[in-house]
Structure 1
Amino acid sequence: MKIRELGIEGAWEITPQQHGDPRGLFLEWFRADRLAEHVRHPVHFAQGNLSVSARGVVRGIHFADVPPGQAKYVSCVRGAVLDVIVDIRVGSPTFGRWEGVRLDDVDRRAVYLAEGLGHGFCALTDDATLAYLCSTTYNPTAERAAHPLDPELAIDWPAAEPQLSARDAAAPTLAELRASGQLPDYRACRAYAESRRSPDMPPPDGI
């Protein structure tokens, strides 16, 4: 298993080692101990979700209030998606930046995104199926969304006509969320991560 941090602090790409033979294949798609070594605090998940989407469907950009926020570990078990992570933490050096990772049932990569980051994806195939773990259970009062087609974010979605849910189509822009104080604070997110760090784990840079 190879784990590398993306260009946004708190976002990681995980590439498993696949073991195959004529019978099929085996892989470890999640290892809490390996991930904790990189994110520098214990990793716990409270809920698992499954999402099935038709080609061209765009879901997101979703996030939750911090604390506690909602970290996610996302993989694609059927088909393919472009998974998108957006830095929406006010005060972050990479505020407003997004990164896209192709998740599919061939390379079987996964992504981990820390609390305070925004998440979305575009289905590249019909019946694209995401399986993802969440650090907290669903709390509708703490759930937020930013418009996925916001020109300020300028996400290059690989769909000629993205299909959005009614909720996502009505979501506010990044500027509107910032003006209303609904975006996570970068320092608060880092402090929350630090509060969960084990004594034997080094702190993140700058803490």
Structure 2
Amino acid sequence: MKITEAFLKGCFVIEPKVFGDKRGNFFEVFNQKIFTEKTGLKVKFVQDNQSISQRGVLRGLHLQKGEFAQAKLVRVIKGKVLDIVVDVRKNSPTFGKHFSIELSEDNNKQIFVPKGFLHGFSTLEDNTIFSYKCDNYYHKEAEDGVIYNDKVLNIDWKLKKNEILLSEKDENLPSFLEFRQKII
């Protein structure tokens, strides 16, 4: 298992070693011991979530705040997404910077998203199955986020504007500047 830290401190890309033959393939999705050895982080996941989305679905940018903040380990089981994380830790040297990576059933990459990061993804193929582990339980009152098309963040979601499908909640998220006023 290869684990590489992204330029956003605490955010890691995980690439499993895939063993394949004429029957198919096998790989270890997560190993706590290896993860801790390579990152120095001790994470206890307590909740697994999964979504199925059609091409054009954009989910995000979300986070849980305060005592309900969550670290996540995200991956794609089937299909393909562009995964986005944004560092919103108050005193971080990369505050407001984002990192993107394509996650797919073909590359089997995962991303570890630390607490204090906004997270979202755009679905690039129909019937994409997206899965993620969380180290804290979901709490509705702790939800927060930033609108996907924020001009300050200027994220390229790899979709045309007319292709994007959003939930009503995601359509009404605040701008990054409004969000920033709440946390600083």
Give the TM-score category using the shorter length: over 0.9
- Structure 1: gaps of 5 or more residues: 184-207
Aligned residues: 182
Give the superposition deviation at 1:55.
Answer: 0.6
Indicate the residue corresponding to 2:89 in structure 1: 89
- SS of 2:141's partner is coil
Moved more, 32-41 or 42-51: 32-41
Residues 45 and 133 in structure 1, CA contact (< 8 A), matched pair in contact too: yes
Normalised TM-score (structure 1)? 0.85
Give the superposition deviation at 1:168.
Answer: 0.8
Q: 5 Å matches for 1:143-158?
A: 143-158=143-158
Find out whether 1:22 has 2:22 as its counterpart: yes
- Cα distance between partner residues in 1 of 2:170 and 2:179: 14
Q: Which amino acid aligns with 2:139?
A: N
Indicate the residue corresponding to 1:179 in structure 2: 181
- Cα distance between partner residues in 2 of 1:34 and 1:141: 34
- SS of 1:20's partner is strand
Residues 73 and 132 in structure 2, CA contact (< 8 A), matched pair in contact too: yes
Indicate the residue corresponding to 2:166 in structure 1: 164
Normalised TM-score (structure 2)? 0.95
- SS of 1:36's partner is helix
- Cα distance between partner residues in 2 of 1:115 and 1:33: 20
Residues 68 and 142 in structure 2, CA contact (< 8 A), matched pair in contact too: no
Find out whether 1:52 has 2:52 as its counterpart: yes
Structure ranking higher in strand proportion: 2
- Structure 2: gaps of 5 or more residues: none
Q: What does the per-residue CA deviation read over 1:40-70, in whole Å, with 9 as the maximum and x for residues that have no partner?
A: 2322111000011111111111111133410
Q: CA RMSD in A?
A: 1.2
- Cα distance between partner residues in 2 of 1:40 and 1:66: 23
Q: Which amino acid aligns with 1:32?
A: Q
Q: Percent identity?
A: 36
Give the superposition deviation at 1:180.
Answer: 2.6
- Cα distance between partner residues in 2 of 1:180 and 1:134: 24
Q: Which amino acid aligns with 2:151?
A: P
Residues 68 and 139 in structure 2, CA contact (< 8 A), matched pair in contact too: no
- Cα distance between partner residues in 2 of 1:90 and 1:168: 23
- Cα distance between partner residues in 1 of 2:94 and 2:16: 27
Q: Could you list the runs of 4 or more consecutive aligned residues of structure 1 that deviate by over 6 angstroms after TM superposition?
A: none
Moved more, 7-16 or 65-74: 65-74
Give the superposition deviation at 1:120.
Answer: 0.4
- Cα distance between partner residues in 1 of 2:9 and 2:55: 30
